[in-house]
Structure 1
Amino acid sequence: MADQLATEIIEKIKVHADTDKEITVDSKLRDLEIQSLELTDIVFDLEDSYDIRIEMDTSEAWSNLRTVSDLIEETRALIAAKD
C-alpha cells in the first residue's frame, strides 16, 4: 500500500505519462513508456511541489531512477534533508 507521498507522486506521473498502464510503486519508468521529456517534466513538477532540487541530468536520471519507487525514495530523501 502506498503512503501519501507515493500516492501524490504516482498522480504526478499520471499527469505527464502518456500511458494507459496501471502505475504502482513497482512500475518501471521505461515500461510506462516515459520518455526523456516526460521524465524531465516529472522531475520539475516534483521539485516545484516539494521545494527540492533533484541534482541530475536526464541521462543520470535514467540510470538512477528506474522505478516509480526509486523516484519516490529520492524525493523522500530530499524532503527529509531539507527539514
Structure 2
Amino acid sequence: MEGTGVSDKLVEEVIATIRKRAGAATSADCEEITVATELTSLGLDSLDLADLLWDLEEANNVEIHMNIADAWSNLRTVGDLVEALRTLMAKVS
C-alpha cells in the first residue's frame, strides 16, 4: 500500500473505527492492528462487520453496496477494507 498523507489518514481512521467497534468483541490487542491484520482475527462477526461498514459510510459520506457475504469473501484484511473505501471515495469525488 502506497503511503500518501490521505492514505495514512484513511488507514488511521479505519483502524480507529475498528478499535471502537471491536472493543470487547476482540481478543486481539487493538494496539497491534495494522493493514495486514485479518478481520477474522479481530473477533468480528457479520453483525460487527455490518456496523463497522455503516460507521465508515457515515464518516466518509459514501455508500458501500455489498452484502455481508460479499464483504466477508472480499475483505480479508484491514488493508482490503481501506482499499475498498478508498475506491468508493474516489468515485464520489
| Class of the TM-score when normalised by the shorter of the 2 chains | over 0.9
RMSD, aligned CA: 1.3
The more displaced of 42-51 and 14-23 is 14-23
Q: What residue identity is the alignment partner of 2:66?
A: M
Question: What's 2:42 paired with?
Answer: 32
1:57 aligns with: 67
Q: Which amino acid aligns with 2:88?
A: L
Deviation sequence 1:22-45 (CA, Å, 0-9, x none): 211100000111111110000000
**Tell me, what secondary structure is at the counterpart of 2:20?**
helix
By how many angstroms is 1:65 displaced? 0.6
Q: Deviations over 1:5-31 (max 9, x none)?
A: 100110000111122422111000001
Bigger helix fraction = 2
Identity of matched residues, %: 43
Unaligned runs of 5+ in 1: none
Matched, 1:48 2:53: no
Structure 1 residue ranges, 4+ long, deviating more than 4 angstroms after superposition = none
Q: How many residues align?
A: 83
TM, length-normalised to structure 2:
0.84
Structure 1 or 2, whichever has the larger Rg, is 2
Unaligned runs of 5+ in 2: none
CA distance in 2, matches of 1:42, 1:60: 15
